[in-house]
Amino acid sequence: MTPRPLPALRLVPKEPASDGALCRQFLAGDAQAFGELIQRYQDLVFALVRRYAATPDEARDLTQRAFLQAFEAARRSLPRLVAADGDVPFKAWLLRIAINLGKNQVRDGARWLRAPLEALDGASSTCEGTHDALERAEAEALTRRAVSKLPRRQREVFTLRIDAGLPFAEIADTLGISEGNAKSHFHHAVKRLRDEVRALSSPLHPEGGTP
C-alpha cells in the first residue's frame, strides 16, 4: 500500500509586536525592543524633521537626536503611557519629540535660507542638466521658505500630513487637538502656502529674484 503524501506545510509569518508590547519589553529590561521601535519609525521621523532642516545631513542629525532624547526619557515617560487605557500612544509621543526638536532648529536660526545642495547631486556635467538641477533646488528652497512662514500650528499639521503621511486622526492625537481642528489647520496651511509661493515667486519680491 502506497503511503499517502504528507500535506504541504505552510509557514505562517510571525505578527510583528505592537508598540505597546515592545514598550513593555523595554521596561522589563529588553534594550533590543527599543531598537525595534527605532527601526519601525526612523523613516517616519526623518521625513518629518526634513522639513525643519536645511540639508539631509541636518535631518539625519535631528532624527538621531530625536531617538536619543526619546531613549533618555523612556524610563520616565513610558510607564505612564503603558498604564493608560487603550493602545500605547508611542508614535504620537515620539513625533511630539521630533516636532519640538524641529521647532528648536528653526528658532536657533536654521530657517532654510539657502537652496539645498543635495538637489545638485548627480547632475550631469552638461549645461542642460545643471540648469535643471538648479531649477529644482530653487523650487525646493522656495517651498521651504514658504513653509517657514506658516503659523506654528499650521506648519506642524502640514508637515505631519505631507511629510509624515499621517491621517488626520493621528495628527490630532500627536498634537493634542481635535480631528476637525487638524483638518481646518491643514486647509488654511495649503491656502496660505499658495499665497506665499505666489508672493515669493514674484519678480518684485526681494527673495523672488529679478526677471
DSSP conformational letter for 118:
G
Overall CATH class of domain 149-211: mainly alpha
**Is a pLDDT exceeding 60 seen at residue 122?**
no
- The separation between CA 19 and the C-alpha centre of its own chain, rounded to angstroms, equals 18
Q: Where are the beta strands (DSSP E) in the chain?
A: none
**Is a pLDDT exceeding 80 seen at residue 168?**
yes
* Of 186, 179, 100, the residue nearest 151 (C-alpha): 186
Q: For residues 112 and 4, which has the higher predicted lDDT (pLDDT)?
A: 4
d(CA 161, CA 203) in angstroms, rounded, equals: 31
- Residue ranges of domains in the chain: 19-111, 149-211
Q: What is the CATH number of domain 19-111?
A: 1.10.1740.10
**Is a pLDDT exceeding 60 seen at residue 209?**
no
**Is a pLDDT exceeding 60 seen at residue 177?**
yes
Decide whether 19-111 matches 149-211 in CATH topology: no
Over the chain, what is the mean pLDDT?
78
**Mean pLDDT to the nearest integer, 19-27:** 93
pTM: 0.69
**Mean pLDDT to the nearest integer, 100-113:** 68
pLDDT, position 132: 59
pLDDT one-digit tens code per residue, 143-166 = 777 787 888 899 899 989 888 888
Q: For residues 115 and 39, which has the higher predicted lDDT (pLDDT)?
A: 39
Q: Place 14 in a pLDDT band, splitting at 50, 70 and 90.
A: low
d(CA 158, CA 208) in angstroms, rounded, equals: 23
- What grid cell was written down for 70? 526619546
pLDDT one-digit tens code per residue, 37-61 = 999 999 999 999 988 887 889 899 9
pLDDT, position 125: 43
